[in-house]
């Protein structure tokens, strides 16, 4: 079971490979190293099963839900089936780590969708949209707390949970007629504006550009220091400083 970071898997592969002997099963939680083996150097032995079980959430979330006796959905895949039982092993691993629904995919689709999703809506896109909306509100005289409430607080505390539990249509229907009309009118404009960015992003993932960028940055000796500096810059942005104040004022705090 190789759960090292993507960069670390590449850096340690030559030391680990001799230990992966015939008849063993090699398990990954992400298809990165195997799919982009020309860049990572992770070329698996031909006489072992190679499987994937990828819970669709951060490691902290997976662990928290597991401890609570709940699970999180995930994907399973087979890269190499020597024994004829590789898929069953992947299913068993999914059960073991508390996966709710395990859907079958391929290593290639898992890594492409994962890299694309986290750079898009899940992390990169949402930070970019939050900041853009917040900045326009501030430019038009709204206070930091008001701008944060209208941009982040209402989304994460009220609307996003409804989407997750019941769907986008339910969330729309739970809002005022004025809100739903504006959302429906503006959604196609946001889609049209964002499509070129998302197409560029997927192409960058698929051709390995994102992989090489990740390996180059995450493999630097000063990686942790550089990463901490970038996180500090985000933490010190006005939107997230306002967020700390707003969160402290939530009822029940």
Could you give phi then psi for residue 227, rounded to 5 degrees?
-65, -45
Q: Are 45 and 12 in contact (CB under 8 A)?
A: no
Active-site pick, 9, 10, 30, 51: 30
CA distance 134 to 148: 7
Give the span between the Cα atoms of 108 and 30, in whole angstroms. 10
142 has catalytic annotation: no
Q: What residues contact residue 36 under an 8 Å CB cut-off, 6+ apart?
A: 111, 208, 211
Q: Give residues with Cβ within 8 angstroms of 219, minimum separation 6.
A: 7, 10, 11
Beta bridge partners of 104: 76
Give the residue numbers annotated as catalytic, written as ranges: 30
């Amino acid at each position: 079971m190789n759960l090292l970071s993507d960069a670390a898997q590449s850096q340690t592969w030559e030391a680990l490979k001799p230990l992966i002997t015939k008849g063993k099963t090699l398990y990954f939680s992400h298809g990165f190293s195997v799919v982009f083996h020309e860049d990572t150097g992770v070329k698996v032995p031909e006489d072992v099963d190679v499987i994937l079980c990828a819970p669709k959430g951060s490691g902290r979330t997976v662990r928290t839900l597991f401890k609570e006796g709940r699970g999180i959905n995930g994907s399973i895949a087979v890269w190499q089936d020597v024994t004829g039982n590789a898929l069953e092993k992947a299913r068993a691993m999914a059960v073991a780590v508390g996966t709710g629904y395990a859907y079958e995919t391929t290593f290639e689709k898992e890594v492409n969708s994962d890299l694309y999703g986290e750079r898009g809506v899940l992390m990169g896109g949402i930070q970019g949209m939050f900041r853009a909306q917040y900045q326009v509100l501030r430019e038009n005289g709204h206070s930091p707390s008001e701008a944060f409430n209208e941009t982040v607080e209402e989304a994460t505390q009220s609307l996003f949970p409804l989407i997750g539990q019941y769907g986008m249509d339910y969330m729309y229907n739970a809002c005022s007629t004025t809100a739903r009309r504006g959302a429906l009118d503006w959604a196609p404009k946001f889609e049209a504006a964002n499509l070129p960015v998302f197409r560029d992003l997927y192409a960058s993932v698929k051709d390995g550009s994102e992989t090489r960028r990740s390996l180059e940055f995450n493999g630097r000796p000063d990686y942790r220091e550089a990463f901490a500096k970038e996180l500090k810059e985000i933490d010190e942005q006005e939107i997230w400083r306002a967020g700390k104040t707003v969160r402290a004022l939530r009822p029940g705090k």
